[in-house]
Amino acid sequence: MSIIFQGARLLSPADNLDTAASLKVSGSGVIETLAFGNETIAQNADDRVVDLGGKVLVPGLFDMHCHFRDPGQEYKETLATGSAAAVAGGFTGVALMPNTRPVIDSPLGVAYIRHHAAELPIDLEVLGAMTLESRGETLAPFGKFRSYGVRAVSDDGTAIQNTQIMRLAFEYASNFDLLVIQHCEDRTLTQGGIMNEGRFSTMLGLKGIPDAAEAITLARDLELMRYLQEHKLHDPLNPSRYHVAHISTRAALDLVRQAKAEGLQVTCEVTPHHFTLTDEDLFRAEAKGNFIMKPPLCSAKNRQALLDAIADGTIDAIATDHAPHAAHEKECPPDQAAFGITGLETSVGLTMTELVWKGVITLARAVEMLSVNPRKIMHLDPIRFREGEIANFTVIDPDLEWTVTKENLHSRSLNTPFIGRRLKGKAAGICHRGKFIENQL
């Protein structure tokens, strides 16, 4: 049985398309027919027809920074519940960070996730750790990772503090065309810190995290990249590629701008909670656990810098850093709360509400940041809307107003600061692997 999607606004920046369209997808998941404007598609008796009523059909969203906690912490999230949250958020693929228990620091961990993910409705890209057990001491087997199809390495949740080990990671990664994703944090400055260091941390009496900690680690890494490039100490055909996870400060953004201007292969992502909230929101919140994350919610000045960098193109991608935690790990004093919040199910709504509807960026730019650019950064095949291509797309209702509630979330954990928040814009469903999964509030 084929599925005919009609009455769509097809928005595909990679194809330079923003037009009314209909398309027919075969049961095997291939685009059979693509029609534009008022052109109709012939129907067979057993075809399913989905009238999108002007909703926006875009390349399948891809979140390049997620934690599904499996293996080892399935009480927080599993591959199945994480995938359900991704579908509800409109994502057809995600990249899983390796800081599970045990850490994904060998091909065995990659194989485990691939085996258990085979029947899931979305694509899972598995990242390998940069160092064994993410301790920052001994490099993980990058070459074996590459042979298992791994495209990126990261010690997310921490940063390699030893500069010599970081240099070797760059050199080794370039040999296998692996993207290096860095959680930029100088731990000597952040140890024991709970929230952004500033007026509000002082008023709450909580140990602060200075925003310089992000820029200091980033500056070191960029200087290493310059040195390796200048002295041709990495594979000239595969120079180091570096991605800054969850960037959050003006100083770090200025460093990225400079590096890009020099021609270094540097990209960065921002989370919806960092472009939406500030440390003042944590200060005013009665229950503070769901406002605790790393990097911490930044100052209003840094949030504005993020918005400016989203608008001018410095920031390449939006990624959620989906980090589920059980209730007891958040419903506690703030200095005991686990770092991180869930984000897959609110990403589209926050992007539409805070960026598109407020005129910071266009919807097309939002699609680039949520779908096109993450795939490009990860060296994944682009999604094309052409007859004979695989159908992989998300349907977005930009006008739908909805309220985030515990009842309409699908993640196993509910640690989000956005419960009760009214949003405008939501993913209405995904089409992937020949199936259309429609989302219901």
In three-state secondary structure terms, 206 is coil
User: Exposed (0-12), middle (13-18) or buried (19+): which is 37, by Cβ within 10 Å?
Assistant: exposed
What are 89's two structure tokens?
């958020």
Beta bridge partners of 209: 196
Distance of CA 353 to the CA centre of its chain: 18
What is d(CA 182, CA 217) in angstroms, rounded to the nearest whole number? Answer: 9
Closest CA to 80 of 68, 98, 71, 92: 68
What are 376's two structure tokens?
């490009």
| Contacts of residue 3, Cβ cutoff 8 Å, sequence gap at least 6 | 24, 25, 47, 48, 49, 50, 431, 436
Q: Give the relative orientation of helices 79-89 and 107-117 as an angle to the nearest 10 degrees.
A: 60
C-alpha distance from residue 75 to each of 326, 358, 387 (Å): 7, 38, 43
Beta bridge partners of 438: 429
What are 286's two structure tokens?
């009665």
Residue 30 near residue 403, CB atoms below 8 Å? no
Residue 379 near residue 62, CB atoms below 8 Å? no
**Residue 178 dihedral angles phi and psi, to the nearest 5°:** -100, 135
Greatest C-alpha distance within the chain? 68
**Residue 108 dihedral angles phi and psi, to the nearest 5°:** -60, -40
- Cβ neighbours around 208 below 10 Å, total: 21
**Which are the catalytic amino acids?**
321
